[in-house]
Chain A
Amino acid sequence: MPAQIEPTFPTQAGQAATVAQRLLDLAKQAPEKVILRLLFNQAPDQPITYAELLQRSNGYAQALAGAGIQPGEVVILILQHGADLAYAFFGAIFHGAIPSIMPFLTEKLSPEQYRRSLAALFEICAPAAVITYPEFESEVRQAISPHASIRTLLLSSQIAWPAEAAEITPTKGIQPADIVLLQHSSGTTGLQKGVALSHQAVFNQLESYSRALHLAPADVIVSWLPLYHDMGLIAGFLLPILSSIPLVLLSPFDWVRAPYRMLQAISQYQGTLAWLPNFAYNFCAQKIRPRDLEGVDLSSWRAVINCSEPMYYRSHQLFLERFAPYGFRASALATCYAMAENVFAVTQGGIDAPVTIDPVSQRGLLIDRLARPPQPGEDVISMLSVGRPIDNTRVRILDEHHHDLAERSLGEIALHSDCMLTGYYKRPDLTKKAFAGGWYLTGDLGYMADGEVYVTGRKKDLIIVGGKNVYPQDLEGLASEVAGIHPGRVAAFGVPNPDTGTEDVVIAAELEDQNLDPEDPAAQAIADEIRQRVTRGSDVVLRYVKLVRRGWLLKTSSGKVARSANREKYLSESDNFSL
């Protein structure tokens, strides 16, 4: 057998122990290999070799060193899709600093709200530096309070490129247990939980997950996922780059306007693997014109992996029917259950065998909390398995007292692995609450059957829209500020939309004025104001705003608005919805 670069992870003594060393080793082995290919909307594709990635990243590392940033300090990256984001990310790691990618300001989000989010992030993770574009400097400066920890605002235009890649040596003294990066969920609430991951945790995840995927040198990963999200950062960025697997990367902003570009990229670059949130299956199946698929050949695609939001059998069917004529194979449909707290994957399905479909009684799930076969006359739900736990991760299903439940009983999913988060950054309180007896409590509900995991919903009130986590309390806070709404009498929740394959976000709010008819134009103006405020404040677009009279919303015994109960009430009164 001729020697070849092994895509799986070296963990033996003497092998790379840090991400920086790993990248250095790969660049030495294959400096001219194109590891990253950036696609743009109106510019040619940009191929980046390991040597270039290393050299340019080193430019950022030297700039951070020059600015007096210390290893172990946090560096926030506010950069869009493009080479600078990749260089700045690895540059921070080369320097031994801890990068965290913050979403960029969008046209919909109000600059004031964005500044508030930034200020909150700065407060929580006490970064030493921020890296952004010169055009965005003034925006970022406005978010930096006089007491902020930030000592340097580094601009992408200020980075000098070192001439010789050979001189590069990562900062010494970085240990495998040190934190390599932080991942944040969006929103005021999500920003509180910066998931801190160690070099070792990242390596352990990538090693185990590579085995589950049978990652091989012929693989090519194609992704449009944002890098501030775990699925994008790990599956669509670190996994390929640190495994010598070529990555073709599109911008999420371009993809949503032209979803066919991902399929054209798979065809052009013989893509083999891609991860998608469930809504993207429906979106691609419904919103691509035939003319944009002319000449597209999807036969190289060996796995399209559904991950990061509730998944539907119907979405898989839609996708298969639409793209089979272009060479897409049924065997490529795969599923994964993942979370930042485990670096990424917890389970993987659909690689060694087709995704298991488990037809269970809807009543059984909802009422008996048991995934059992339907009895005559009962509605059936075709549950998609998310597969088996990857080989470094164990999964249990627990009851409310944290005792193990029997096979097929519905409970909270808990997990244990050698790739868990180090903690929520600077939040030992939240970290402690997340674990019970060394097991991480996911807040997701599900069951196990024949060794496979099924995710049925969430214990927490979290809403997931298009793969993005949305915390209802953030939206409720924004809606409560609207004049005419009874403060605090607002409930935000998600309802599944089978057409789009994701959740629609609904706000139900009580009107202050007892005599105002919710159908009155004056009430509609209030509804518009809620939409406006929520969109500008959170970047979340509301599908329905339901204004109701005082007393409509159900409360818990402690007087708080009960989200799930109000969700049920909304659904039972709503005629524009069916499961």
Chain B
Amino acid sequence: MNNETIQVLAAHIATHIIKQPKRVITPDEKILSSGLIDSFSLVDLSIFIEEHFGVRIADTELNPETFDTLAQLAGLITQRQ
């Protein structure tokens, strides 16, 4: 399940957030603290997660302390599904 979630997230981020569809994002790569996802795109990400996975990420959770990699984010999603 997690792998599939990671792939969906990676594809969304590459295509719609950083606009480099060919960019490979590995499960353990830092995506927030590295600046790959800028703060203006955090709300986008949480809206996408809510629409696609039916899981709510609170705005207070949009920080690297809560998740900083796709693996961590996918874990959070799976846990709440």
Q: Given A532-B34, A536-B35, is A500 in contact with B40 using a C-beta cutoff of 8 Å? A: yes
Q: Judging by beta carbons under 8 Å apart, are B19 and A543 in contact?
A: yes
With A107-B33, A531-B36, A536-B35 in contact, is A287–B63 under 8 Å at CB? no
On whether the beta carbons of A256 and B19 are closer than 8 Å, the reply is no
Which residues 275-326 of A sit at the B interface, judged by CB distance below 8 A? 279, 283, 287, 289
User: Quick one: which of B14-70 are within 8 Å of A by CB?
Assistant: 18-19, 22-23, 32-36, 38-40, 42-44, 47, 50, 59-60, 62-64
Whole-angstrom distance between the alpha carbons of A167 and B61 in the complex? Answer: 45
A72 at interface (Cβ–Cβ under 8 A)?
A: no
Given A287-B43, A466-B40, A532-B35, are A107 and B63 also a contact pair (CB < 8 Å)?
Answer: yes
B60 touches A576 (CB 8 A): no
B44 touches A258 (CB 8 A): no
Q: Given A41-B60, A287-B47, A289-B47, do A108 and B33 touch, yes or no (CB 8 Å)?
A: yes
A257 contacts partner chain B, Cβ-Cβ < 8 Å: yes
Q: Are A257's CB and B34's CB within 8 A?
A: no
Contacts of A524 in B (CB 8 A): 22-23
Shortest CB-to-CB span from B29 to chain A, Å, is 10
Bound CA span A108–B41, Å: 14
Report the Cα distance A258→B40, complex, angstroms. 10
A371 to chain B, nearest CB (A): 31
Contact digits for A542-556, partner B, Cβ 8 Å, 1 yes 0 no: 011000000000000
Count of A-B contacts judged by CB separation below 8 Å: 54
Q: Which 3 A-B residue pairings sit nearest by Cβ, starting from the closest?
A: A535-B35, A541-B38, A258-B59
A42 within 8 Å of B (CB atoms): yes
Chain A residue nearest to B46 in the complex (CB):
A257
- Whether the pair A107, B32 counts as a contact (CB closer than 8 A) is yes
In the complex, the chain B residue whose C-beta lies closest to that of A289 is B47
User: If A41-B60, A258-B59, A287-B47 touch, does A541 touch B35 (CB 8 Å cutoff)?
Assistant: yes
Beta-carbon contact of A535 and B34 below 8 Å: yes
Contact between B40 and A256 (Cβ–Cβ < 8 Å)? yes
Distance of A492 from chain B, by nearest CB (Å) = 16
Q: Which residues of B contact A279 (CB under 8 A)?
A: 40
Chain A residues within CB distance 8 Å of chain B: 41-42, 107-108, 253-254, 256-259, 279, 283, 287, 289, 466, 500, 524, 531-532, 535-536, 539, 541, 543-544, 576
CA of A535 to CA of B37, assembled, Å? 10
User: How large, as a class, is the contact surface on chain B?
Assistant: 20 to 34
Q: Assess whether A257 is in contact with B39, with CB atoms less than 8 Å apart.
A: yes
Q: A545 → chain B, closest Cβ, in Å?
A: 8
Closest chain B residue, CB of each to CB of A107: B33
Q: State whether B35 touches A257 (Cβ < 8 A).
A: no
Q: Taking the nearest CB of chain A, how far is it from the CB of B34, in angstroms?
A: 6
- Residue on B with the closest CB to A108? B35
Measured in the bound complex, the distance between the Cα atoms of B40 and A279 in whole Å is: 10
Complex Cα gap A279–B42 (Å): 15
Would you list 18 pairs from A and B whose C-beta atoms are within 8 A, ordered by A residue?
A107-B32, A108-B33, A256-B40, A256-B43, A257-B42, A257-B60, A257-B62, A258-B43, A258-B59, A283-B40, A283-B43, A466-B40, A500-B40, A524-B23, A531-B35, A532-B34, A532-B35, A536-B34
Known: A256-B39, A256-B40, A258-B59. 12 other contacts (CB 8 A): A42-B60, A107-B32, A107-B63, A254-B59, A257-B59, A257-B60, A257-B62, A259-B43, A287-B44, A500-B40, A535-B34, A541-B35
Which residues does chain A contribute within 8 Å of B59, judged by CB atoms? 41, 254, 257-258
What is the distance, in angstroms, from B80's C-beta to the closest C-beta of chain A?
A: 17
Contacts of B34 in A (CB 8 A): 108, 532, 535-536
Given A287-B47, A532-B34, A532-B35, check contact A256 B42 (CB 8 Å).
yes
Taken together as a complex, chains A and B put the C-alpha atoms of A536 and B42 apart, in Å, by: 18
In the complex, which of the residues B19, B50, B60, B63 contacts A544, with contact meaning CB atoms closer than 8 Å?
Answer: B19
In the assembled complex, the Cα of A466 lies from the Cα of B50 at a distance in Å of: 26
Q: Which residues of B contact A576 (CB under 8 A)?
A: 19
Closest residue of A by beta carbon distance from B68? A107
In the complex, chain B residues whose CB is within 8 Å of the CB of A539: 35
- Contact residues in B for A283 (Cβ distance below 8 Å): 40, 43
What residues on A are CB-neighbors of B32 within 8 Å?
107
A258 / chain B contacts, CB cutoff of 8 Å = 43, 59
Tell me the complex Cα distance, A253–B19, Å: 24
Q: What residue in chain B is nearest A543 (Cβ atoms)?
A: B19
Bound state CA distance, A279 and B63, in angstroms? 22
Chain B residues closer than 8 Å to A535, beta-carbon distance: 34-35, 38
- Closest Cβ–Cβ distance, residue A485 to chain B (whole Å): 18
Are A107 and B60 closer than 8 Å at their CB atoms?
Answer: no
Q: How far is the CA of A536 from the CA of B38 in the complex (A)?
A: 12
B50 cross-chain contacts in A, Cβ below 8 A = 289
Q: How far is the CA of A256 from the CA of B36 in the complex (A)?
A: 16
Complex CA gap A108/B32 in Å reads 8
**What residues of A have a CB within 8 angstroms of the CB of B42 in the complex?**
256-257
> Residue of A at shortest CB range from B37?
A541
Residues of A within 8 A of B47 (CB): 287, 289
Q: How many Å lie between the Cα of A538 and that of B29 in the bound state?
A: 21
Instruction: Give the complex CA separation of A379 and B35 in angstroms.
Output: 37
Interface centre among A257, A279, A287 (most CB of B within 10 A): A257
Judge whether B19 and A257 touch: CB under 8 Å.
Answer: no
Chain B residues with Cβ below 8 Å from A108 are 33-35, 38
Report how far A256 CA is from B18 CA in the complex, Å.
Answer: 17
Provide the bound-state CA to CA distance between A532 and B16, in Å. 19
In the complex, residue of chain B having the shortest beta-carbon distance to the beta carbon of A539: B35
- Please name all residues of chain B whose beta carbon is closer than 8 Å to the beta carbon of A259 when the two chains form the complex: 43
Chain A residues with CB under 8 Å of B39's CB are 253, 256-257
The minimal Cβ–Cβ distance linking A305 to chain B, given in whole angstroms, is: 21
Which of chain B's residues have a CB closer than 8 A to the CB of A287? 43-44, 47
- A313 → chain B closest CB, angstroms: 22
CA distance A283 to B50 in the complex (A): 18
- Residues on B with beta carbons closer than 8 Å to the beta carbon of A257: 39, 42-43, 59-60, 62
